[in-house]
Amino acid sequence: MTEQSGPSTQQIVEKVWLSIAERRLRPGVQLKEEQLATIFNVSRARIRQALTVLERDGLVTIIPNRGAFICKPSVEEARDVFFVRRTVERCVIERLCVSVSKPNLRRLRDHVAQERIANAQDITTDIIKLSGGFHLLLAETVGSDFLFTTMRDLISRSSLITAVYRNTNRFNCGPDEHAEIVEAIANNDAVKATHLMAHHLDHVESELDLSEIRDLSHDLRAALS
Amino acid sequence: MTEQSGPSTQQIVEKVWLSIAERRLRPGVQLKEEQLATIFNVSRARIRQALTVLERDGLVTIIPNRGAFICKPSVEEARDVFFVRRTVERCVIERLCVSVSKPNLRRLRDHVAQERIANAQDITTDIIKLSGGFHLLLAETVGSDFLFTTMRDLISRSSLITAVYRNTNRFNCGPDEHAEIVEAIANNDAVKATHLMAHHLDHVESELDLSEIRDLSHDLRAALS
DNA sequence: GATTGCAGGATTGTAGACAATATGATTTGA
DNA sequence: TCAAATCATATTGTCTACAATCCTGCAATC
């Protein structure tokens, strides 16, 4: 009788986010509210909350009276996101190199270590989460709420862009380049750190195939399982 | 019988936003859903939508099972917002100086002209809207969606900060400094334009009184009328 | 006298039902 | 045969009622 109240809004968001990043949900697919409500075993109200969050993160577009669709970022939008990332991440690095506490340095190194483990064991889900999580952790370490939320928005959009335009099967936002950046920060070497980050972003962007989007699958239930 | 369906979500958001900017709603005040629903003559559902938007804009904090409260930005948060604004607005200016179209230049000059009118007639509501709107228009003119939304978030937070910490009664984000910036952009003088913007932001921030927050009034209905 | 426990009231969170709107197929006319 | 209008279906938008949670005031007890 006492039905489990189902996943929270945040859990739904993460599930959809991951499904998009893993390419199980393709751009252009409509996320119908009742369908999602059935899949997640929650009411439509909670689904609508999750969809508004996903819209804010730039992963879906909500068209009034039409519904929510997974975004198809254009090539221009993709380049724009990376352009802004260069500016913002540079700002983050510069502030970190001025002063980074020992505990924060430890957190960064621990994170890179986790990335190495996920890569070694080839667990795609963890690789995706941790890869974006590194950049997010950098922003969090700065201590600026605004930079953190901005980076969060950038990362979620980058994940979608990578899912759409990535050419290879490997995720090249690997732990090695991250590790170098952390060590440059540890040495308070702002020049080196910013160069490494710029190179890292160039590298990630260069892996993208900026041709047209392929078509989409419709098996919602399987993609979200 | 056919009750007018009341203001839209966006209209509610703008009304609350303006009430905060005009200091008729003080930080810490709880925005009770039913109360707002009565005032705006809409259902609680729409109020909840508006509150989530206001939370995203950084104007209210929603505590689960507790309610929505107008944010009290700390001095650190205030300085942080202005720090990020320096970076982002500089980025905006640099991109604009590289290439700004004639129609966009015209829009900027028109906007400044409107600011002059509002200032001459001393219409506080318009002054507040247009003052932030100038910076928003700059970002929009760049053509980057992400920069635009980022600037939007920064401006709304700045409005709250200004409302809380502003010392004088005049709004010093006046049209004169804006006009100078536009002309520097028109001349593609990136160095001058970025300097003017930096000075402008210094000016705005210097007008803030970073002492403690005074206490708050509770007259919701009067504040929102 | 201070603290803890316990109702009573108020507020938010959720679900389900109904209304409004858009889509797509079908039919009708030129 | 094609175009335009119409109706049926499906989906979203909104409202109302109910459930869960939290704060407030009071009283009892140590």
Could you tell me which chain B residue has the CA closest to the CA of A87? B91
Given a cut of 70, is residue B224 above it in pLDDT?
no
Q: What ipTM was predicted for this assembly?
A: 0.85
Per-residue three-class SS string for B61-78: EEECCCEEEECCCCHHHH
Cα A149 from Cα B55, distance rounded (Å): 13
What span, in angstroms and rounded, lies between the C-alpha atoms of B82 and B133? 17
pLDDT band for A214, please (50, 70, 90 cuts).
very low
CB atoms within 10 A of CB A166: 16
**Residues in chain A whose beta carbon is closer than 8 A to a beta carbon of chain B?**
49, 52, 56, 77, 80-81, 83-84, 87-88, 91, 144-147, 149-150, 153-154, 157
The pLDDT score that the predictor gives to residue A207 is 87
A9-71 and A75-206: identical CATH topology:
no
Q: Inspect the interface and report whether the beta carbons of A153 and B147 lie closer than 8 Å.
A: no
State residue A196's pLDDT score: 96
In chain B, which residue's Cα lies nearest the Cα of A56?
Answer: B56
B9-72+213-224 is classed CATH 3.40.50.2000: no
Residue A94 in this model has a pLDDT that exceeds 80: yes
Compute chain B's Rg from CA coordinates: 18
Give CA–CA dist B200/B185, Å, rounded: 15
Question: In this model, does residue B54 exceed pLDDT 80?
Answer: yes
Indicate the DSSP class of residue A207: T
Q: What is the pLDDT of residue A176?
A: 87
% of chain B residues with pLDDT over 90: 64
Spacing of C-alpha A1 from chain mean position: 38
Domain ranges of chain A: 9-71, 75-206
Mean pLDDT comparison of A16-30, A158-172, B102-116, B170-184, highest-scoring range: B102-116
| Rounded distance in angstroms from the CA atom of residue B195 to the C1' atom of nucleotide C29 | 70
pLDDT at residue A4, rounded to an integer: 44
Residue A215 reports pLDDT greater than 50: no
Cα→Cα distances B201→A92, A98, B58, B187, Å: 20, 23, 20, 21
Say how far apart CA A163 and CA A165 lie, in whole Å: 6
Give B173-221 as a DSSP string: S-HHHHHHHHHHHHTT-HHHHHHHHHHHHHHHHHTB--SPPP-----HH
Confidence at B41, pLDDT banded by 50, 70, 90? confident
Residues 40-79 of B with CB under 7 A from strand D: 42-46, 49, 65-66
- Nearest partner of A93 among A137, A28, A43, A36, judged by Cα: A137
What is the separation of C-alpha B83 from the centre of its chain, rounded to a whole number of angstroms?
A: 16
Helix, strand, or coil (residue A8): coil
Report the helix count and the strand count for chain A, using DSSP H and E: 10, 3
CA of A32 to C1' of C26 (A): 26
The whole-angstrom separation of Cα B198 and Cα B87 is 9
Q: With residue A30 as reference, give the H or E element that holds it.
A: strand A30-31
Per-residue pLDDT tens digits for B144-200: 999 999 999 999 999 999 998 887 766 666 778 999 999 999 999 999 999 999 999
Residue A20: pLDDT band (50, 70, 90) is: very high
Name the residue type at position B46: R
**pLDDT for position A62:** 93
- What long-range pairs does B172-176 form, CB within 8 A, spacing at least 24? B172/B203, B172/B204, B172/B207, B173/B131, B173/B132, B173/B134, B173/B200, B173/B204, B174/B115, B174/B119, B174/B131, B175/B112, B175/B115, B175/B116, B175/B119
CA atoms lying within 13 Å on the CB side of residue B71: 26
Which strand ranges, in their side-by-side order, compose the sheet holding B60-63?
B30-31, B67-70, B60-63
pLDDT at A30 over 70: yes
Calculate mean pLDDT across residues A126-135: 93
Residue B3 CA: distances (Å) to CA of B6, B9, B10, B225: 8, 17, 19, 20
User: Is pLDDT of B2 > 70?
Assistant: no
* A156: chain B residues, CB-CB within 8 Å: none
Distance B66 CA to D23 C1' (A): 9
- Mean pLDDT of all residues in B30-49: 90
Q: Architecture of domain A75-206 in CATH?
A: Up-down Bundle (1.20)
Q: Which tokens is B163 given?
A: 């409302």
CA A88 to mean position of chain CA atoms = 15
Q: What is the pLDDT averaged over residues A200-215?
A: 74
**pLDDT for A167-190, tens place per residue?**
776 666 677 899 999 999 999 999
Tokens 């520097």 -> residue: B184
Chain A nearest-CA distance from B61, in A, is 14
**Of residues A192, A193, A188, A189, the one with CA closest to residue A99:** A188
pLDDT above 80 (res A5): no
Cα–Cα distance, B192 to B198 (Å, whole number): 10
- The pLDDT > 70 percentage for chain A reads 88
In this structure, the dihedral spanned by the alpha carbons of residues B46, B48, B51 and B55, taken in order and rounded to 10 degrees, is -130
Own/partner pairs, A111-115, CB within 8 angstroms, 24+ separation: A111/A137, A111/A178, A112/A175, A112/A178, A112/A179, A112/A182, A115/A174, A115/A175, A115/A178
pLDDT for A199 beyond 80: yes
3-state SS class at A167: coil
- Would you state the CATH architecture of domain A9-71? Orthogonal Bundle (1.10)
Instruction: Read off the amino acid at residue A33.
Output: E
